Amino acid sequence: MAQPELLEVLEKTASQNPSDQKLALDFLKQACNTNFPEFIKQLSLVLATKTCSNFVRQAAGLQLKNALVAKEETTKNDYLNRWLSLPEDVRQFVKENVIQILGTEPFRPSVAAQCVAAVACAEIPQGLWPNVIQMLMENVTNGSASESLKESSLEALGYICQDINATTLESQACMILTAIVKGLGKDEPSNNVRLAAANAMLNSLEFTKSNFSVESERHLLMQVICEASQCTHIPVRVVAMQCLVRIMSLYYQFMEQYMGLALFSITLNAMKMEIDEVALQGIEFWSNVCEEEIALAVEAEEAQEQGRTPENISRHYAKAYLVPILTETLARQEETDDDDDWNPAKAAGVCIMLLAQCTGDSIVATILPFIQEHFKNPNWRYREAAIMAFGSILDGPDQKVLTQLVESAIGSLIEALIIPILKLGLLK
């Protein structure tokens, strides 16, 4: 396929005329099937040619990526084998084009980063392209690197970490984390770079067990992530909080020393924020803590039955501080809320339920004052919050404690449920 013809076809992939668009996509599919080596080379060349229009370059990059990756397992394997069967000089030509164009694209997100990741995910497990991680790391750590080069290189690392088998990258975890820590650090002036680094960090956590097992490395990672969780740029803050949530699931056994120093205040302050995305992560953090504590309790019970010492010890954190924030969050409802939307109020209900399962009888005395105070509150938000709180603690405490709770609250609960019906005039 001559390049002028390819440029014209790529231009038409976004045609407002459905017929032209279909013809263009069919033509590209046929070209891919007819002469894949030449097709893939030409796409990488268009992506790397700065004189081509931005749209055409993006279209070429997307076609290139889509020729390498697929969701369906059989197609995915077919695409992998097709790529690996290419002559080495063709694969090298494509790799050089996509890696060299990082940081030069005038559009976000970087299509070249997606292409680099697609090729890397195909080749790294086969022992090919062994220096790609190092090249991406050096793009980030080089003091003279442009913002766009650092951002796109971190995006590529993030995509690789997301899509490749975690064990494949364990040997290169230190290089990956070096780049991520550099990009995420508070000294990085670009929020775009920090966001790309935060996403890469989130995707890398699965294979960093050896790093979290070393105290000095763990301290550095936790420091950088905690600092990022206080970033004034909300997207960075949200992803950093997501990292903390994930870390609690993966490395809970190492987290006690960070609770009092940072995590406690960071997450409680996040829960209080009016920005839903941040508040949700703060609540999710403590839901994960509860789930880990529940698992530890089960492990301890099994260990006792088997006469052995449990591998980990359960510790309850912060119940007295959490409950007031969670119950107030239950009242963060609006009449326009969609039943399918996940919001802080719903997340708080789940967290209280997990907290009840985790702490048992002691949750009752902590949350009962809120329930009693607001069952008859004229403000429907607080009335519903009290009902939600009541329902959320029914799975956890001992049956006798629950019986006493239900008997003492049933009258107020019925009245609370009837109030809105009376206001609608449905009961005469």
> Tell me: the pLDDT tens digits for 243-278?
999 999 999 999 988 988 899 999 999 999 999 999
Q: 376 — phi, psi (to 5°)? A: -110, 20
- Residue 304 pLDDT exceeds 80: no
Quick one: pLDDT at residue 310? 54
Q: What is the predicted pLDDT for the residue at 166?
A: 82
Q: Which of 382, 380, 360, 361 is nearest to 371 (CA)?
A: 382
Q: What band does 428 get if pLDDT is binned at 50, 70 and 90?
A: very low
Q: What is the pTM of this model?
A: 0.89
pLDDT digits (tens, 9 = 90+) for 175-217: 999 999 999 999 999 999 999 999 999 999 998 999 999 999 9
Contact between 92 and 132 under an 8 Å Cβ cutoff? The reply is no
Using the structure block, give the residue that is written with the tokens 């105290």.
215
DSSP secondary structure of 292-354: HHHHHHHHHHHHHHHT---SS------HHHHHHHHHHHHT---TT--TT---HHHHHHHHHHH
pLDDT digits (tens, 9 = 90+) for 339-349: 778 999 999 99
Give the pLDDT score at 406. 74
Report whether 211 contacts 221 (CB < 8 A). yes
pLDDT at 62 (0 to 100): 94
How many angstroms separate the CA atoms of 389 and 2, rounded? 67
Per-residue pLDDT at 161 exceeds 90:
yes
The whole-number pLDDT of residue 261 equals 81
Among residues 155, 153, 84, the alpha carbon closest in space to that of 122 is found at 84
Predicted confidence band of residue 418 (pLDDT cuts 50, 70, 90): low
Instruction: Give 3 or 387, the one with higher predicted confidence.
Output: 387
DSSP 275: -
SS3 content of the chain, % helix, strand, coil (to 5): 75, 0, 25
pLDDT at 271 (0 to 100): 96
Q: What average pLDDT does the segment 127-145 reach?
A: 95
Q: What is the mean pLDDT of residues 145-163?
A: 96
Label residue 426 by pLDDT band (50, 70, 90).
very low
Backbone angles phi, psi at 308, to 5 degrees: -125, 165
Contact of 202 with 225, CB cutoff 8 Å: no
Average pLDDT for 412-421: 60
Tokens of 232: 């004034």
Note the pLDDT tens digit of each residue in 30-89: 999 999 999 999 999 999 998 899 999 999 999 999 999 998 999 999 999 999 999 999
Predicted confidence band of residue 427 (pLDDT cuts 50, 70, 90)? very low
Residue with tokens 């950093």: 240
DSSP string for 5-43: HHHHHHHGGG-SSHHHHHHHHHHHHHHHHH-HHHHHHHH
Q: In this predicted structure, what is the pLDDT of residue 307?
A: 65
- Which pLDDT score, from 0 to 100, does residue 411 have? 63
Could you tell me if 255 and 247 are in contact, meaning their C-beta atoms sit under 8 angstroms apart? yes
Give 311's pLDDT tier (boundaries 50, 70, 90): low
251 neighbors 209 (Cβ within 8 angstroms): yes
**Cβ atoms 30, 84 nearer than 8 A:** no
Residues near 50 by beta carbon (within 8 Å), at least 6 away in sequence? 104
Question: What number is the average pLDDT over the span 230-251?
Answer: 97
